Chain A
């Protein structure tokens, strides 16, 4: 073995530092890796920059730099008066702002609109923040209590009865209709070929009508007694409270476990009583503001909130119906859903405004806004049904079977096990539907309702403010409002989606 000294192999001086690798993070890294790393990319970057240059710069110039900020009429926004080529004409928006937000809602009553909007925000925001508690109470307040309160707040008017009177009235209407249907069949049976059959059916229906008449007689008699007394609303209210609470108590398990249900029922009714008293509904309520005076953002929000609130139950019912095993209900649901999904919303609105009034009794007129709301509720309901159905399909069969093994009925299985999970799954889809609903509310301007877009279009024709930049200014303003709402909702839907899929990340 030869003696090899270590020095032959071991270096004596340090290796000089290698240069740092090319930076791939930070701004410079971004420039290197994503913008200027190849000739094609450099070309693309230049094209993109030019594109932005020719869109962003003129937009900013129009909205801010060249804009006119003060003025009394169109004179201020004309190039010859301002001395430069004028961009946005903001005084026009300031002058038209009340119209764009409230429409022709009387100035003295606008606090009601503001109050309703604040109420909506106060109920909706906690509902959207997942960390906050009492979601059930909050949701029921928003979906059931708020629409009623908002109606009396925005529209005004009072009530002349309560649950009992309404039930009696509805039953009476139903009874009348059945009776007249029977009479029609009987009169047809004199001429028709299948006379005996028609006669039997007609007689049967008439008999049913008479039976219903006698069945509801105590109710109508009581109603008449209440109306005759001076304090009709409160007497009716007390009776309704007693009856409903009793039913809730018995259904809740009677003496054994019904205490809780009874207490919550009574608390609910006390809350209703406070609202009725506060708003003075028992003696006329607030002055009535007819819906043809409503306009602007108010109508946009009313239509979209009503659409959101009403379309969800319709959608859930249709989705359950579509998955039901009972043939007629399934076929009806499928036909209903596919019909509304197959036609454009504008024809639905035409249907609601021209055809629906023909289908209602002649003495029964429906407000233009309500007609549009009915059309939108049916239309959106069909779309929501498909969303909910997606959620229902995602629930594994084992959940149903486990519920069946526990002996739960169909209703309990659906409401306690299947729906809560299914709805949680499809929250992002539901929110996306709400976004398109919010955008679609602009269509009501075609059937002579003045929503934000309709009011904007109406304001263009004001000669006091007609300048070359008026239209652009108006569209910029309305566009910002629409964008804020829709973009906010879409970000929220993304947030929920990420939260729901948190367990699937990485």
Chain B
């Protein structure tokens, strides 16, 4: 009887099998073929049905409608827009409105969120309870409920412009929205901005240089006087040379409405309020969890090295907490951006409202318009998650080194 070993199978064949069918081998290939057939069949059904339905409704498929005149007005535009502009411009207007409300919301949400997190972490019993009540109350009510509450109840209950509530005499709140001072550029604006930008860049470069000196040669360089001089002093000097960069135009009550200043529509106010307070509750929980995730021993080790409480927090606890905080925080920023689409409920002209709402009902090009809308949000999400995975990769690398 021969007992010699069987020949090992060809490695290349195994690799191909693994590549094509995974662990299941040829069975996997069969499953994939069946799955592909089902997907193909579904795709065929969708395309043929859509074609037949569009024909019945006399809608021409394609993106030709983007060049047509929109013919409707939008009540908040960042770029110039009139009713006779094209649908493509409507799309851009809506996208910019979405972005501006997201950015403003993110700024406020971060500020409120960190304040509430500090409240919750405070050793003071009452303050931490106040923070807890805020978080529980806000997180357990739907966002749409809160948007409608601010818009339909609170803003609607505000007085009319004549009796509007004055905030330190520079901004006025009424049921027609918020009126804020408007900066108007003068001749000195451009040199001022250039000096400011140069100052910031130079200060950053100085900081990088100082850190490198500290880490590589152990040399402490005091940079804050230079930074102060660059960021504040230099623009001040340019202001003295070239004159004031801008003046601020204060809103003034004339007749039944305000003249001067820039008006923020009430929809924007309600949406920003709701989005930032809602997201702030989630951010507060993330920040709290991040800071609590740093072991107590870290703080004690810092103290035993002779660092003050503030320095230990800044140099030891916060950098470690940030590692835990940043990924979910980015996720919340993304959520806020996606949630800004609820603007459609109160008629703030964001992407969904003017594009998937008004433009869709005007043109009937459902497939193109909804695909574009979803594509924009998908793109924002994918970019964010791409940036986050680069961040995570860098973090892992720096931890491994």
> CB within 8 Å of B: which residues of A?
30, 34-35, 41, 44-45, 47-49, 51-52, 177-178, 180-181, 184, 324-330, 332, 338-339, 341-344, 346-347, 350-351, 354-355, 357-362, 435, 439-443, 445-446, 453, 457, 460, 468, 471-472, 475, 478-479, 482-483, 486-487, 490
A362:B52 contact, CB within 8 angstroms: yes
Q: Which residues of B contact A35 (CB under 8 A)?
A: 124-126
A358:B53 contact, CB within 8 angstroms: yes
**Interchain nearest-CB distance for B362 vs A (Å):** 13
CA distance A385 to B25 in the complex (A): 25
Known: A326-B32, A442-B144, A475-B148. 10 other contacts (CB 8 A): A48-B124, A49-B126, A325-B28, A328-B36, A342-B382, A346-B341, A354-B370, A361-B52, A472-B153, A487-B140
Q: Which residue of A lies closest to B338 (CB)?
A: A344
Which 5 pairs show the lowest CB-CB distances between chains A and B?
A325-B22, A342-B381, A34-B125, A486-B140, A344-B338
Q: Which residues of A contact B140 (CB under 8 A)?
A: 435, 482-483, 486-487, 490
Q: Which residues of A contact B137 (CB under 8 A)?
A: 483
CA distance A475 to B144 in the complex (A): 12
CA distance A471 to B151 in the complex (A): 10
CA distance A478 to B142 in the complex (A): 10
**Interchain nearest-CB distance for A212 vs B (Å):** 12
Q: Does B221 contact A (CB under 8 A)?
A: no
CA distance A354 to B357 in the complex (A): 11
CA distance A474 to B210 in the complex (A): 59
Q: Does B391 contact A (CB under 8 A)?
A: no
B148:A359 contact, CB within 8 angstroms: no
Chain B, residues 15-30, CB within 8 Å of chain A (1/0): the string is: 0000111111000100
Q: Which residues of A contact B173 (CB under 8 A)?
A: none
Q: Which residues of A contact B103 (CB under 8 A)?
A: none
B21:A326 contact, CB within 8 angstroms: yes
Q: Which residues of B contact A41 (CB under 8 A)?
A: 123-124
Q: Which residue of B lies closest to A51 (CB)?
A: B130
A350:B381 contact, CB within 8 angstroms: no
Q: Which residue of A lies closest to B51 (CB)?
A: A358
Decide: A479 near B141, CB < 8 A? Known: A347-B370, A358-B366: yes
A-B interface pairs (CB < 8 A), number: 174
Q: Which residues of B contact A445 (CB under 8 A)?
A: 144, 345
Q: Does B373 contact A (CB under 8 A)?
A: yes
Q: Which residues of B contact A343 (CB under 8 A)?
A: 338, 374, 377-378, 381
**Interchain nearest-CB distance for B347 vs A (Å):** 11
B46:A359 contact, CB within 8 angstroms: yes
The range of chain B's interface size is: 35 or more
A329:B352 contact, CB within 8 angstroms: no
Q: Which residues of A contact B148 (CB under 8 A)?
A: 453, 457, 475
Decide: A475 near B153, CB < 8 A? Known: A45-B124, A47-B127: yes
B142:A453 contact, CB within 8 angstroms: yes
Q: Which residues of B contact A446 (CB under 8 A)?
A: 144, 342, 344-345
B381:A341 contact, CB within 8 angstroms: yes
CA distance A361 to B356 in the complex (A): 23
Q: Which residues of B contact A443 (CB under 8 A)?
A: 144, 342
**Interchain nearest-CB distance for B271 vs A (Å):** 13
Interface of B is mostly: helix
Decide: A482 near B145, CB < 8 A? Known: A327-B20, A350-B373: yes
Q: Which residues of B contact A180 (CB under 8 A)?
A: 48
B142:A440 contact, CB within 8 angstroms: yes
Q: Which residues of A contact B374 (CB under 8 A)?
A: 343, 347, 351
Chain B, residues 115-130, CB within 8 Å of chain A (1/0): the string is: 0000000111111011
Interface of A is mostly: helix
Q: Does B31 contact A (CB under 8 A)?
A: yes
Q: Does B45 contact A (CB under 8 A)?
A: yes
B22:A324 contact, CB within 8 angstroms: yes
A34:B35 contact, CB within 8 angstroms: no
Contact of B153 among A30, A329, A471 (CB under 8 A): A471
Q: Which residues of B contact A342 (CB under 8 A)?
A: 377-378, 381-382
Q: Which residues of B contact A181 (CB under 8 A)?
A: 41, 44, 48
Q: Which residues of A contact B21 (CB under 8 A)?
A: 326-327
B24:A347 contact, CB within 8 angstroms: no
B54:A358 contact, CB within 8 angstroms: yes
Q: Does B202 contact A (CB under 8 A)?
A: no
B125:A355 contact, CB within 8 angstroms: no
A346:B153 contact, CB within 8 angstroms: no
Decide: A362 near B35, CB < 8 A? Known: A471-B157, A475-B153: no
A–B Cβ pairs within 8 angstroms, 5 of them: A41-B124, A45-B127, A325-B23, A341-B381, A342-B382
Chain B, residues 381-396, CB within 8 Å of chain A (1/0): the string is: 1100000000000000
Q: Which residue of B lies closest to A43 (CB)?
A: B124
CA distance A161 to B148 in the complex (A): 46
Q: Which residues of A contact B32 (CB under 8 A)?
A: 326-329
A350:B39 contact, CB within 8 angstroms: no
**Interchain nearest-CB distance for B370 vs A (Å):** 5
Chain B, residues 129-151, CB within 8 Å of chain A (1/0): the string is: 11000001101111111001100
B157:A468 contact, CB within 8 angstroms: yes
A344:B377 contact, CB within 8 angstroms: yes
Q: Does B50 contact A (CB under 8 A)?
A: yes
CA distance A457 to B156 in the complex (A): 14
Q: Which residues of B contact A325 (CB under 8 A)?
A: 22-24, 28
CA distance A178 to B35 in the complex (A): 15
Interface centre among A184, A330, A350, A362 (most CB of B within 10 A): A350
CA distance A442 to B274 in the complex (A): 15
Chain B, residues 197-214, CB within 8 Å of chain A (1/0): the string is: 000000000000000000
Interface set, chain B 316-347, CB cutoff 8 A to A: 338-339, 341-342, 344-345
Q: Which residues of B contact A475 (CB under 8 A)?
A: 145, 148-149, 152-153
**Interchain nearest-CB distance for A304 vs B (Å):** 11
Q: Does B360 contact A (CB under 8 A)?
A: yes
Q: Does B49 contact A (CB under 8 A)?
A: yes
Interface set, chain B 33-80, CB cutoff 8 A to A: 35-36, 39, 41, 44-46, 48-50, 52-54, 56
**Interchain nearest-CB distance for A140 vs B (Å):** 27
CA distance A445 to B145 in the complex (A): 11
CA distance A177 to B42 in the complex (A): 10
Q: Which residue of B lies closest to A485 (CB)?
A: B140
Interface centre among A328, A341, A351, A453 (most CB of B within 10 A): A328
